Amino acid sequence: MNLFSIEFLLLVMICRLAAVALSTSLQNYVFLGASLLFCLSHSPLTLAFLFGTFLIAYFSLRLYRRTKGKWALPLGILLILATWIASRVLISGGVTGMDLTNMDAGFVLGLSFYMLQAISVLLKSVKHESDQDPTFMEFLLFLAFFPKLTAGPIEPPGKFIRQLRARPRPAAAETVEGFRLVIQGLFRKFMLGDSLLRTIPKEFFIQPGGLSQTELAAWLLALLFGIYNDFLGYTQIARGISRILGLKLSRNFRSPFFSRSISDAWLRWHITLSQWLREYLFFPISRFLARRFPNPRHIVPMLIPPLAVMSISGLWHGFQRHFLIWGFVMGLLIFLERLARSIHPPRPVTKTGRPWHWAKSTIRWSALVLSLIPFALPAGTSLEFVQSLLGGNPLPFPDTPVLLFIPLTLLWDGMQKRWGETFETLPVPRTAGFLLQGVLILLIFLQSLTATPIPFIYGGF
Amino acid sequence: MTAPNPSPHEIRVALKRYICEEILKDPQYPIGDDTRLITGGIIDSFNITHISVFMENEFNALINDENLNPENMDTISGMALLVENALSSGADSQ
């Protein structure tokens, strides 16, 4: 069962019926049953890992409350990490490089996502009393909730569990909003994401030396915008379905291509992972160092936290060497930008300073796009890619109209930035809004007739 | 260090002075109480770290890592409110 199957649609319909007809606690049991069924339909191994992670986290928390021994929490976290590492090392599959045609279905679905959520419950428990701890059922549903199981969003436990305890029945406006999110998500995924990812030739991933400079640059951009639309589309579908069921999930993207710095880009791209890393790794490390080196221009608090956090972020995506290299490069870029900002702090942008502002944006985005090379390709192929990009032939140009989906993505992002995620504040008559949704549904339908969807990339992490 | 029990105005003035002088190196930088500092690209996560340590040292306010998010730290007003809440919850627990 995947998010595009008839079985999944049936599951959502049953849960929607429960959401309008049953009490909150009964709804939760229906949602939990649906989530475990969804998990089992992927593979028994996925269900086993989900239960394993849950039981470790739940009983570590109970042990901590019973014995008052703080050792129970680090022990629980270590065991959860060991489970996650075991799944990474012992079970092949998932994304190995971005050659999507090679994604193996044998991987454990969503483990990297609910592993972080389980750890956050344990870390948060230190800060509050036991009466705020999730119950057995709440904790399991928090990890397993089926719309977000595949690839998040990585929810903060307090926000989600509060909704499990008390929430109003889904109102008509919320349901409409949920449908709009699903339609937007399907459009992003099917039309923009899949089209861009499909247009990239296999040679790009295996033998980039055979492609021209302009082709390499164009396919690299297609990959960036393809991944973006794929992941954003997934998140919107997950959030839309949850909204239809009466639960609100966090946003994962906020127009990242309009960011003002690399750090800002990470506040807008995969927001829930960035927030987790900031709260549990970046701030503890950087505040520890800032207390010892209070000068904001000291190099140690500028260098160590981004390198450590982004390298861990790389490993979170996979244990392959190229993910670690990507994380290290990203950490280095963040450090270099911080260093530049500490020497020349930002000033208000004036008319005369605008060209320099645009030049900085261009440099920043060129660096971010190039950093995708080690993310998407194994180390050896990355080297071949860079050599060809710097010293290959500029011609031929790639000749596919699908590349126009890149500026269309930027235009769509700009419109969402201005008029809201589902264009809810767009100043047009209501009928025009319905017409737009109708056109999107028609486009999605036509696309579904000609091509089967590519698996969600982040479902493989 | 600012006097014990600083007023909201004193907190805002001290925060503004620290950000302009120590972080932006421009005492005249035009920052209002509600100027968007993070989303406006003026400060970043590294600066937030140092501002939080300044809050601890200057006001003796203990700020949790979970509160260092753009909702709380995007404006001088938001930061000042965070300090006030930390001070009042500290006073409550004593």
- Whether residue B42 and residue A275 make contact (CB cut-off 8 A), yes or no, is no
Using CA coordinates, name the residue in chain B closest to A263: B44
Q: How far is B29 from chain A (nearest CA, A)?
A: 8
Beta bridge partners of A104: A94
Cβ atoms of residues A120 and A73 within 8 Å: no
Buried b / exposed e over A441-460, threshold 16 CB at 10 Å, is eeebeebeeeeebbbbbbbb
Query: Given the structure tokens 């809004």, which residue do they identify?
Result: A433
What pLDDT is recorded for position A249? 95
Tens of pLDDT along B37-79? 888 878 888 999 999 999 988 888 888 888 888 888 999 999 9
CB-CB: which of A261, A263, A279 is closest to B66? A279
Q: Which of B35, B39, B50, B73 to probe the A interface (max A CBs under 10 A)? A: B50
For residue A142, the model assigns a pLDDT of 95
Residue B39: its chain A contacts at CB < 8 A? 264
List pLDDT tens digits, range A407-423: 999 999 998 888 888 88
- Structural element, H or E, at residue A5: none
Q: Test B65 with A280 for CB contact under 8 angstroms.
A: yes
Contact at CB, A279 and B65, closer than 8 angstroms:
yes
Does ipTM come in above 0.90?
Answer: no
In a domain, B2, yes or no: no
Least Cα distance to A42 among A90, A97, A93, A102 occurs for: A93
Spatial distance between the Cα atoms of A292 and A300, rounded to a whole number of angstroms? 10
Q: Which domain covers residue B42, as residue numbers?
A: 8-93
Query: What pLDDT shows up at residue A202?
Result: 86
Residue carrying structure tokens 């992670």: A53
Which residue type, as a one-letter code, is found at position A120?
Answer: S
Q: Write the CATH number for B47.
A: 1.10.1200.10
**Does B52 fall in a domain?**
yes
Domains of chain A, by residue range, sit at 6-167, 174-345+356-391
As for how many domains chain B has, the answer is 1
Distance from CA of A272 to the nearest CA of B (A): 12
Is the bond preceding residue A153 a cis peptide, omega within 30 degrees? yes
> A260: which chain B residues are within 8 Å (Cβ-Cβ)?
40-41
Length of chain B: 94
pTM of the predicted structure, to 2 decimals = 0.88
State whether residue A345 sits within 8 Å of chain B by CB. Answer: yes
Helix A354-370 with A213-244: angle, nearest 10 deg: 90
Structure confidence at residue A54 (pLDDT)? 95
How far apart are alpha carbons A11 and B80 in whole angstroms? 47
pLDDT value of residue A389: 86
**Residues lower than pLDDT 50 in chain A:** 94, 101
Smallest CA-to-CA distance from A142 within A342, A133, A17 is with: A133
What's the pLDDT score for residue A26? 93
Measured between alpha carbons, how far is A422 from A185 in angstroms, rounded to an integer?
10
Verify whether the Cβ–Cβ distance A296 to B22 is below 8 Å. yes
Residue of A nearest to B44 (CA): A263
